[in-house]
Chains A and B, each alone.
Chain A
């Protein structure tokens, strides 16, 4: 069993105090937040101490990511902590210092016998500002975890609908700054890690949307009373809270399953969590905008920082359809454990 909610509280508070009270300011990225996270060791919580990490748990690493999701912080913490650091750990490579990111999917990237990397990696979060990008390449004898300095690749800038950098990296015979072969299973786990990172972020963003809505409906008055007094509003708020709870719970379940080391249990739980959180994200954003109404669709109001992220994150690391197919395939696979066992993890 992982750390209980009780044990997490000091960490939550630390992360919250580092990341500030409100959502982070506009701009491409928040260098100060990254520096503070890195300095406090929050970017490498569950990396073994032997590799320079904190030796903590996955749940703890995820807690910082959840807070970052809630605060809409413009740093690649989800990529660094839940994907990059994990890949490096699996490869026995130390975590480099400086802004670190990872591709959720680097299919098509190959390493030749000399280790030189070729291929295009799409939509790498914050690649343009990172000093190191962790990627998984297809080597001559299996998968290789590599660290790339993005200045040695061509970076073509893009953004998601929340304005977060999602840059394409074109590598043409690039030499990695570090590389190590890993087990073939790492490739499948990478997809799960990427998906997991989005569920954890969404749990944070969903909670913030709920908090903003709760405050708004109790403060905003129409027809001589707070709009929270209207049953139509109450029902929408209740539905919203239910959706946020299902993302949060599915994230917890997926984290437990991933930490259990049981690959099949993890695969089912993460896929289920991605489907749940994708559906819920759309609904959360829709309800929140409906209730905050006019002021909520403005740039000035904080709501869009959470809702545009929910929209953007819901399909990153594999679309909802992709994960629904995966889940269905597992459910009907005669060689997999019965579905009930997969669901409850026994």
Chain B
């Protein structure tokens, strides 16, 4: 099978290359090669450049600030940016563009699209994801944060947790319970909430590697306008699931590209350590390579589905399991390749990361040890591997469902205080 992109996508590739050639500093190898204090500054100014050139969400319609191209161009862009080691956006863009923006395009009102999409792209608004709560992790529909209408405003009370990049955000999309007398999945509303108000408090949580990347977010009579609802009052579960589809699925088109570069780093590490003749290491490197190829094929399947107008559905769970479990296996291999060097790791740190280190990061023992640790979380967030397998079993294979214990009004459920 030889995969070729349509000529207009190849023409776009030339445009992207020209753009990168003109706009990246000379000799650029990646953000990781910059001194830590310079990184944020570069990231900010680079993001502005991307916004000015419509390079942040090329598949979004032009009227909302996109480039009006297709997802094929989005993938081409990812390939070229990866090749050049250029960042594709800032930390909150995964939430603002990848999740919320894509969801608004499908389920938002015209006013919401016109209002929010350009602001997300310009960087005026930075978003984070207010789904999980202390008592609602895998069982997301168990959320208790409440929202009650008071005139033309929702009044929100409760707590979210594990809110990644919440300390950098000024807006949060919140799943809130708006009808406790309805069944668990029925009384939930998806709200858009400004964080810069007295009723919202963000407290950092430090992870085991010592970085503060996620947060608790507390709502005490926080407010948002009554129209800041995506997908209908009490119909937020559908919106929540559509967004999760994007969280799990849209990345699938570019997973292989993300991991390819990092796998090259790992092969270089093995080569530097003189281990490319070791049959154990060779076998596992070969396994890694084949997994990245599997991701590439999965990416093409997702891409053709999305191009045909579909939204990522339950099949996104397959991609999610594959990349997150791959990330653990290949960082374990990195630790093995490092051997004694992983025992008191030295060299450049990653500065804290959710996934892979920035391009240009030194191939240091410490960067690998940190990546290894952060890879633990990949099979937990965006739905754990167990939950993904439940979805695959129940929704793709039609296997019997786990018996439900949560029928009836939410407020009557055992243990529910809401």
Contacts and interface: CB of A to CB of B under 8 A. Distances in A.
Answer yes or no: are A and B bound together in one complex: yes
Interface in A280-308: 282, 286, 289-290, 293-294, 297-300, 304, 307-308
B142 A222 contact: yes
Nearest to B280: A321
Given A161-B369, A222-B139, A312-B343, A299 B405 contact: no
Interface string A148-169: 0000000000111100001000
B24 interface: no
Interface in A233-252: 233
Which one of A230, A232, A297, A299 has the highest number of Cβ atoms from chain B below 10 Å of its Cβ? A297
A224 interface: yes
A133 B305 CA distance: 64
A168 B29 CA distance: 33
Given A166-B344, A224-B405, A230-B386, A321 B139 contact: no
A311 interface: yes
B340 interface: yes
Interface in B335-360: 335-336, 339-340, 342-346
Contacts, number: 100
Interface string B139-166: 1001000000000000000000110000
B415 A224 contact: yes
B291 to A, nearest CB: 17
A341 B418 CA distance: 65
Nearest to A162: B208
A30 interface: no
A166 B278 CA distance: 28
Given A293-B384, A294-B162, A321-B339, A230 B206 contact: no
B414 interface: yes
Which one of B136, B335, B343, B390 has the highest number of Cβ atoms from chain A below 10 Å of its Cβ? B343
A49 interface: no
Given A230-B386, A282-B332, A300 B344 contact: no
B138 A286 contact: no
Contact of B406 (A223, A297, A298, A316): A223
Nearest to A223: B139
A221 B416 CA distance: 11
Nearest to A314: B335
A161 B369 CA distance: 8
Given A161-B373, A221-B415, A293 B380 contact: yes
Nearest to A225: B405
Contacts of B344: 123, 158-160, 166
Given A223-B138, A298-B205, A298-B208, A290 B379 contact: yes
Contacts of B345: 161
Contact of B206 (A221, A227, A298): A298
B137 A230 contact: no
Interface residues of A, number: 36
Contacts of B139: 222-224
A221 B133 CA distance: 13
A160 B343 contact: yes
Interface string B383-402: 01110011000000000001
B109 interface: no
A300 B210 CA distance: 10
A297 B207 contact: yes
B114 interface: no
A230 B342 contact: no
Which one of A122, A224, A315 has the highest number of Cβ atoms from chain B below 10 Å of its Cβ? A224
A223 B405 contact: yes
B343 A232 contact: no
A227 B387 CA distance: 12
B372 to A, nearest CB: 8
A312 B372 CA distance: 12
Interface in A70-90: none
A297 B377 contact: yes
A160 B280 CA distance: 25
B234 interface: no
Contacts of B208: 297-299, 304, 307-308
Interface in A114-136: 122-123
Given A158-B346, A223-B405, A224-B415, A293 B137 contact: yes
A319 interface: yes
Interface string B289-303: 000000000000000
Nearest to A304: B208
Contact of B376 (A289, A300, A315, A320): A289
Contacts of B380: 289-290, 293-294, 297
Given A289-B376, A294-B381, A299-B210, 17 more contacts: A123-B344, A160-B344, A222-B137, A223-B142, A223-B402, A224-B406, A230-B402, A232-B389, A282-B332, A297-B208, A297-B377, A298-B207, A298-B208, A300-B205, A307-B208, A319-B336, A321-B280
29 contacts: A122-B340, A158-B346, A160-B344, A166-B344, A222-B138, A222-B142, A224-B414, A227-B138, A289-B380, A290-B380, A290-B386, A293-B138, A293-B380, A294-B132, A294-B162, A294-B380, A297-B208, A297-B380, A298-B205, A300-B205, A300-B206, A304-B208, A308-B208, A311-B335, A312-B343, A315-B335, A319-B340, A320-B336, A321-B280
Interface of B: 132, 135-139, 142, 161-162, 205-208, 210, 278, 280, 328, 332, 335-336, 339-340, 342-346, 369, 372-373, 376-377, 379-381, 384-386, 389-390, 402, 404-406, 413-415
